[in-house]
A and B are shown apart, each in its own frame.
Chain A
């Protein structure tokens, strides 16, 4: 503490220690919160095509097209340790090839301060719904679920499944016309 540099160093080090302590308190105050919320989903239009998958094997694989409704209120998830939410909509189904298939169809980032009351009608998916074979045609049980990552200031990166799911079936025939 004798010279100016020593005093500056000491104050900076102590200020950073206090900051680390405050950050830990912020983490500890939110680590036990329950972030599960409700979400309502519905599918509007569902068709399936059989087209060559040039991004993979060039074989003809099933490609699903669907539009969906999504209603949820995520406002309550935001607190002082949440910077943003990463939402994603997953389709889960079972085929002869695989016991469990999971395909992410759509995602969205909601920054803190943005509107977190979602009411989407007839939304298109963002990503292709490819199956790795012919597992979509006449599939009777495809389940849509909404999940989200909570991106915090400090601490864990929880991955949460919203309550509420929607099951639908694909049609028995391929659609050949352009959409």
Chain B
């Protein structure tokens, strides 16, 4: 059985937008804080580590499709019985 059908991986459209926005904000924030801290203690390695921590946090928050990102699923029309639709089209054809 396909794994993706057991563990759903998709987000809805608004969820995708939120995930992307959140990831940008967190990474930029950690980068800025890392830059300031690294400059204060004059250690650029600390800047890189802080950005790395931001990357891990962002990965945890925005890569898995948490329920937060799936609140507004698309309202698909319910599937119709394939036989019925076939009949309807044929009827329409006859009428014309």
Contact = CB atoms under 8 A, between A and B. Distances in A.
A and B associate: yes
Contacts of A12: 55
B44 A80 contact: yes
Contact of B27 (A14, A23, A29): A14
B28 A1 contact: no
Given A19-B48, A22-B35, A29-B39, A3 B10 contact: yes
Main SS of the interface on chain A? helix
Interface residues of B, number: 30
A172 interface: no
Contacts of A3: 9-10
B23 A10 contact: yes
B71 interface: no
A7 B63 contact: yes
B10 A2 contact: yes
Interface in B1-44: 9-11, 16-17, 19-20, 23-24, 27-28, 31, 34-35, 38-39, 42-44
27 contacts: A1-B16, A1-B20, A2-B11, A2-B16, A3-B10, A4-B9, A7-B23, A8-B59, A11-B23, A11-B59, A14-B23, A14-B24, A15-B54, A15-B55, A18-B27, A18-B28, A18-B51, A22-B47, A25-B35, A26-B35, A26-B38, A26-B47, A78-B42, A80-B38, A80-B42, A80-B43, A153-B44
Query: On chain A, which size bracket covers the interface?
Result: 20 to 34
B73 interface: no
Main SS of the interface on chain B? helix
Interface of A: 1-4, 7-8, 10-12, 14-15, 18-19, 21-23, 25-26, 29, 78-81, 153
Contacts of A153: 44
Given A4-B65, A11-B58, 6 more contacts: A7-B62, A7-B63, A8-B59, A15-B27, A26-B35, A80-B39
Interface in B44-71: 44, 47-48, 51, 54-55, 58-59, 62-65
A116 B76 CA distance: 71
A160 B64 CA distance: 52
A81 B23 CA distance: 28
Contact of B51 (A7, A15, A81): A15
A132 B32 CA distance: 56
Nearest to A17: B27
